[in-house]
A and B are shown apart, each in its own frame.
Chain A
Amino acid sequence: MKLKSLIAAASIAALSAGMAYADAHGGKVKVGMITTLSGGGAGLGIDVRDGFLLAAKGNENLELVIEDDQRKPDIAVQLADKMIQSEKVDVMTGIIWSNLAMAVVPAVTAQGKFYLSPNAGPSALAGKGCSPLYFNVAWQNDAFYEAGGTWASENGIEKVFLMAPNYPAGTDGMTGFKSTFKGDVVGEIYTKLGQTDYAAEIAQIRASDADTVYFFLPGGMGISFMKQYAGSGVDKKVMGPAFSFDQGILAAIGDAALGVKNTSHWSKDLDNDANVKFVADFQAEYGRLPSLYAAQGYDTALLLESAMGKADVKDAAAFQAALEEADFASVRGDFAFAPNHHPIQDIYMREVVKEGDVVTNKVIGVAASDHQDVYGADCKM
């Protein structure tokens, strides 16, 4: 254990040494991170935080203030006020959930601070509500779904059954899938948010003539559905976005998830230098496999450090231009910003497999290359 963390420390030191030349240009940057660290959903926030800390470790020019939003929008708004008014941060980041992002981001950019989103990408912020100071380092919410629809059309899937919770992220996701899917949607169910028993829905899926189930059920909802689906004897194929199949969730589902196809912009087996290093460092530092949230937190810190090397954060125009260049080695491979400051990136298709005793994801192909969201046209900045 000691040796492991020593290696980690050494490799992180090497990383920050690489950044050091750059820091000569810019001054210090104070970052405010508001994320979910307690209550339900804390696992996602902890991963974003840990990924960010891993990348930023040893960088003395980066001062980080972390606060817990408890997944409550009103708390998040008040913490944002605190960060801006009392802590006087330059850059903010950390929010996991779309509804919290919608509450916080407009206020942050209106007060002239940069916001780097490590997870949520609501369509309003990509289109009409876009801002020069807002950068999304993760994805626009529709990306995984559109890529899923494209892949399904190209891989002989004809009849799908759609399922999501009855709330905006759920209905938007299904709309995204339908926008690129060319086959038939034979059934569509919107369940109660937080529902944990899916026996009734599974019966409807069984009775339909769909060949594939495409669902988005975040967190515990997805765990419950997959376990119950596996026990039901229904043998239709299962697809979904990566949110229902990240590392933390797979550990709880177990073998029941094997064979599921899911779309993601990142996977731990992506073969690029940055990613190999990230996965090894993360495991050494925290003793668990990284999730896509950890990857996004890590990339967010890398992006920030790249811009710090090129410009002073007090010079907003220059810092914005430096961020727009996205001059960092993303763990996802190629990464660039579209004019609306949302990613242009490959979305991969992954399959859930077993490696030894660990249930995890493996990339099986590209579902959509250089994917970009459709809302940019409405963005005037």
Chain B
Amino acid sequence: MPRETLLNIILFLMLPATAGAALLLDEPFIITLVTKAAILALAGVGLNIALGLGGLVSFGHAAFFGLGGYAMGILASHAQSYTPLMETPFLIEGTKSMLVIWGVALATAALAALAIGALSLRTTGVYFIMITLAFGQMLYYFAISWPAYGGEDGLSIYVRNDFPGLNTLDPIQFFAITFGVLAIALFGASRIAKAPFGLALSAARQNPERVETVGLAPFRLRLVAFVISGAVTGLAGALFADLNRFVSPTMFSWHTSGEIMVFVILGGVGRLFGPVAGAALFILLEHVLGGISDFWQVYLGLLLLLVVLFARGGLIGTLAGREVAHD
């Protein structure tokens, strides 16, 4: 078995093992932290489809993360106050059903990614990085100044949404849900990478001219990748909102985009489990360093710097050794 596969299995089992141990030790907060890591890893898995596979450096994935969050916030707040979302031309009620909310979050984020992607993918390189950032910022300012759903105050949802057969307010059961979603997303991402679509996308990253000569349009390949990527990150946003029972415009801020990117790079760009390793390490650092000093972000910065400078290929690249095909 290659080292990376072994590492992936260990990483994958580490999350439920930690959550299980926390359950036995009666440390529910640790379960919350592991759940957060799983959700942020999911957002990273989404970004990694665009970033690792497609070579599309999006600095605006907070847009999709936030849209997913607001899909949850808006639907649940209407259900909470028993006011319909829309009455004309047809009635739309709010809902507390997690499954419906996920569907809406996926669809909203996918639509937004389609629009943003169709415009942004005309540019390349740094211009692409910055145009995606611009779209994220637009949504951020819109969310802050739009009073209907709380503006900068955000929206509080008092109870977590329902999932058939489970008590979502119990930390371990909510963890199980998020872990299940993450597992499905990881499986999906691995299938995409090996499918003809993924191979063509990779080829378009490495040599667009050649892809074009065999009759495939790199633009369309990239757009599809961007839409899938945005949708997965949107789903993560809906779960993140449910974890906190709260949404606010900070989900749209460029810091969020930066952090999602940090998870991916920290873990290893283009590695299937890179985002899982990156998010877990980030949460661990935040938790451990935060307890040491008020100025813990200095240490976090130094550590990140060391990883970039001396641990090329991120955590997984360093541990597994073998270089994946990446630029």
Contact = CB atoms under 8 A, between A and B. Distances in A.
Do any beta carbons of A and B sit within 8 angstroms of each other in the complex? yes
A44 interface: no
A173 interface: no
Interface stretch (B99-107, B243-251, B319-327): B243-251
Interface stretch (B25-33, B41-49, B200-208, B214-222): B25-33
A81 B153 contact: no
Nearest to A103: B246
A91 B158 CA distance: 19
A67 B29 CA distance: 14
Given A81-B28, A166-B144, A38 B248 contact: no
Contact of A38 (B33, B154, B250, B296): B296
B96 interface: no
Contact of A193 (B36, B144, B244): B144
Interface string A86-107: 1000000000001100110011
Interface string B6-41: 000000000000000000000111101100100000
Given A38-B295, A68-B294, A74-B244, A86 B153 contact: no
B29 A72 contact: no
Interface residues of B, number: 31
Contact of B294 (A38, A82, A190): A38
B258 interface: no
Main secondary structure, interface of A, reads helix
Interface residues of A, number: 31
Contact of B153 (A77, A82, A122): A122
Given A78-B33, A81-B28, A82-B29, A102 B296 contact: no
Contacts of A122: 153
Nearest to B158: A106
A73 interface: yes
B297 interface: yes
Interface of B: 27-30, 32-33, 36, 141, 144-145, 147, 150-154, 156, 158, 171, 240, 244-246, 248, 250-251, 290, 294-297
Interface of A: 37-39, 42, 67-68, 72-74, 77-78, 81-82, 85-86, 98-99, 102-103, 106-107, 110, 122, 166-169, 171, 190, 192-193
6 contacts: A77-B245, A81-B32, A102-B153, A103-B154, A168-B151, A190-B145
